[in-house]
Amino acid sequence: MNKDFDKIHQIETSKPRKSEKYELLRPYVEPKRPNQLLEIPVRSIPYLLNICEPGDGASYQDFAFIALIRIFEGIINIDLARQNIPIKGGIADIELPFNYESIFPDHPHWMVFQRDFNIRAILAEAKNLKGKAEYQHANQLKGYVDAHKRGKLAFLISRNGFTTEALTALQSYCYEGYLILPLENYDLQELIKLSLDHPAKVTRYLRRKEELLIRMSLS
C-alpha cells in the first residue's frame, strides 16, 4: 500500500480543483479492512475529512471511521470495528468495540470512562450535511445507544456544527447518565494529535468536551 500513499502525497501537493482532487484521492483511501486503515498516513486524515463535498455521507463516514480508529488505536478492537450496523430498525454508522485485553493494563486512564459509562463499545454517527446536525440526529443516536445496550458513550460527528436544539438534547442526555459528545472536524484533528502524543490526553480532551457541554448556556 506504500505506492498508494506515495500517490496520495503527489495528489496533495498538486493543485487540481477541490472536486478533481477528491475524485483522484478516493480510490486510494476507501476502506478495505480496518487493520489496513491504520496504514493511512495520519497527516492525511484531517485533509480527507475536509475535502468531502457536503452531502457525500458515505465517504465522510469512511474517513470519520479512519479517524476514530487512529484516535482510539490500542483502546478498541480493530478487527471487530465496523460500519453500517443494523440497530432498532435503522443503521448506525460506526461501532468501535473495546479491547479489554489491553485497555486496563495498558490504558488505566480509560478505566474511569469505562466505569462511568459501562462501555463495551462506542457508537458514532457521522453527518456530512450542508447545514448543521439537528435534534433528530441527536435523538436517533440516543435511540441506537439505548437499543445497542453496549454502553452509554457515543459521538455525533458533524462537519458543519450543531443546531441549538441538537445541543440541548445532547446536554440533557448527560443528566440521564449518557455522554453523547458533539464533535466537528476540528475536534477529530485535535484528538488525532493528542493520541499521537499520549492516549491519556484523549480522555482529558473528551472530559473537557463533556464539561463544556454540561455548562453550555443555550438560552
Domain positions in the chain:
2-215
State the pLDDT at residue 53. Answer: 83
State the pLDDT at residue 214. Answer: 93
State the pLDDT at residue 163. Answer: 97
Nearest to 115 by CA among 203, 208, 211: 203
State the pLDDT at residue 203. Answer: 92
State the pLDDT at residue 32. Answer: 55
The model's pTM: 0.87
State the pLDDT at residue 31. Answer: 54
Q: What is the pLDDT along the chain (219 residues), one digit of tens a residue?
A: 455 656 666 666 666 666 666 666 666 555 556 566 667 777 788 888 888 888 888 889 988 998 999 999 888 988 899 999 999 889 999 999 988 776 666 777 788 888 899 999 999 999 999 999 999 999 999 999 999 999 999 999 999 999 999 999 999 999 999 999 999 999 999 999 999 888 889 999 999 999 999 998 765
State the pLDDT at residue 52. Answer: 83
Nearest to 172 by CA among 139, 205, 207, 128: 139
- The three-state secondary structure class of 98 is strand
Give 125's strand partners: 156
State the pLDDT at residue 173. Answer: 97
Q: Please give the Cα distance from 99 to 149 (Å, whole number).
A: 17
- The three-state secondary structure class of 149 is coil
State the pLDDT at residue 10. Answer: 65
Q: Please give the Cα distance from 10 to 83 (Å, whole number).
A: 29
Nearest to 62 by CA among 143, 126, 7, 146: 126
State the pLDDT at residue 25. Answer: 62
Nearest to 191 by CA among 178, 182, 180, 204: 204
Q: Please give the Cα distance from 132 to 202 (Å, whole number).
A: 25
Grid cell locating 57? 455521507
Report whether CATH 3.40.1350.10 matches the domain 2-215.
yes
State the pLDDT at residue 3. Answer: 57
